[in-house]
């Protein structure tokens, strides 16, 4: 059995590498120099991003990118969506001829509005099997071995099944999917909506408001998904509704905490800096706004988040505008 190669040693990359290795299969984790791979190899734990989650014996740390890619055929990229194209371009000359590429990145490419699988196809061509891993997951809980479920989506059924089987062990279960568009849209839009619910809760608007935003946010997510060719069933599954509810209701979500910081009156730049890691929803808000306009999809909640983050509209003005919208049919 050849190793699974995970690129990215942040909290989620480390958690996925640990989970792949828990079943006993060989796994290689590569991190950038700033992730201190030598320290990870020595201490057998990522104390910076995932403290307390010990590395299984079958997890190896490889500081050299070329050697990491030479170790196996199945490569899993765990990088911000904004960096996906650059990383794919960097690794393409180093990939084995039999390589298969998956990613756990969530979000549209900001400059083009393209989904990750579209970016991957442009960089890698049509012959390389591709897949995405997504769903309602917090790295800390995966690191602790708590029960978790995700979707593995790929147009290649055999690849999806093999990847799902490799990562499923203990309390972690993966379900296969062929609707890669739906899985990616769920992961892209939910971060924007998590900022909205964080703002609402930070303003003290209560549970009614939170559920209002989640429910109407789901309607927006589904409208965009259907416009881009996703299946409704996918958007009601783990990578759609599941990820949306998780991200909007728990402060382990960086995007939700970011929204709460904005509600406390902190400037956008300060709120991002205090989170200390990438806040995907900040960039996703601009990308979702662009894609929704391009496809003429009505997404008022996401647009209001865009107004606050990228047009400098005061949060209190956005709330007043949202509540003053004219009455419309629910469906």
Mean pLDDT of 33-44: 92
Mean pLDDT of 244-261: 97
pLDDT tens-digit profile of 129-157? 999 999 999 999 999 999 999 999 999 99
pLDDT band at 77 (very low <50, low <70, confident <90, very high): very high
pLDDT tens-digit profile of 46-59? 999 999 999 999 99
pLDDT band at 79 (very low <50, low <70, confident <90, very high): very high
pLDDT tens-digit profile of 172-212? 999 999 999 999 999 999 999 999 999 999 999 999 999 99
Mean pLDDT of 205-223: 97
Quick check: is 286 catalytic?
A: no
Q: Which of 39, 190, 231, 294 is catalytic?
A: 190
pLDDT band at 15 (very low <50, low <70, confident <90, very high): very high
Mean pLDDT of 280-300: 96
From residue 103, alpha-carbon distances to 34, 81, 84 in Å are 21, 9, 9
Which pLDDT belongs to residue 207? 96
Mention every residue, 6+ apart, whose C-beta is less than 8 A from residue 49: 9, 10, 11, 14, 139
pLDDT band at 230 (very low <50, low <70, confident <90, very high): very high
**Separation CA 40–CA 230 (nearest Å):** 39
| Structural domains of the chain sorted by starting position, each given as residue range(s) with its CATH number in brackets | 4-178 (3.40.50.720), 183-323 (1.10.1040.10)
pTM of the model: 0.94
Q: Report the chain's mean pLDDT, rounded to a whole number.
A: 96
Torsion sign, CA atoms 23, 103, 51, 64: positive
């Amino acid at each position: 059995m050849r190793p699974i190669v995970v690129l990215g040693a942040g909290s989620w990359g480390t958690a996925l590498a640990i989970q792949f290795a828990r079943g006993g299969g060989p796994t290689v984790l590569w991190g950038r120099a700033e992730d201190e791979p030598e320290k990870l190899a020595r201490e057998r734990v990522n104390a910076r991003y995932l403290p307390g989650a010990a590395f299984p014996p079958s997890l190896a740390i490889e500081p050299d990118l070329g050697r990491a890619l030479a170790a196996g055929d199945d490569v899993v990229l765990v990088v911000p969506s904004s960096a996906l194209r650059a990383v794919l371009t960097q690794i393409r000359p180093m990939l084995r001829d039999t390589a298969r590429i998956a990613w756990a990145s969530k979000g549209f490419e900001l400059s083009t509005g393209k989904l990750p699988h579209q970016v991957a196809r442009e960089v890698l061509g049509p012959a390389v099997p591709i897949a995405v891993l997504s769903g309602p997951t917090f790295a800390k809980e995966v690191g602790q071995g708590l029960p978790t479920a995700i979707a593995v989506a790929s147009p290649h059924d055999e690849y999806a099944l093999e990847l799902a089987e490799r990562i499923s062990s203990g309390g972690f279960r993966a379900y296969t999917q062929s609707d890669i568009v739906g899985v990616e849209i769920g992961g892209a839009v939910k971060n924007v909506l998590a900022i909205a619910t964080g703002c609402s809760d930070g303003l003290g608007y209560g549970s009614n408001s939170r559920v209002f935003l989640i429910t109407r946010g789901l309607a927006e997510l589904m409208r965009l998904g259907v416009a881009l060719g996703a299946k409704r069933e996918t958007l009601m599954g783990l990578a759609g509704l599941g990820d949306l509810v998780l991200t909007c209701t728990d402060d382990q979500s960086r995007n939700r905490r970011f929204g709460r910081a904005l509600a406390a009156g902190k400037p956008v730049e300060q709120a991002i800096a205090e989170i200390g890691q990438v806040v995907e929803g900040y960039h996703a808000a601009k990308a979702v706004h662009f894609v929704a306009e391009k496809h003429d999809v009505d997404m008022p909640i996401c647009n209001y988040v865009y107004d606050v983050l990228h047009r400098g509209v005061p949060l209190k003005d956005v709330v007043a505008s949202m509540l003053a919208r004219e009455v419309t049919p629910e469906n």
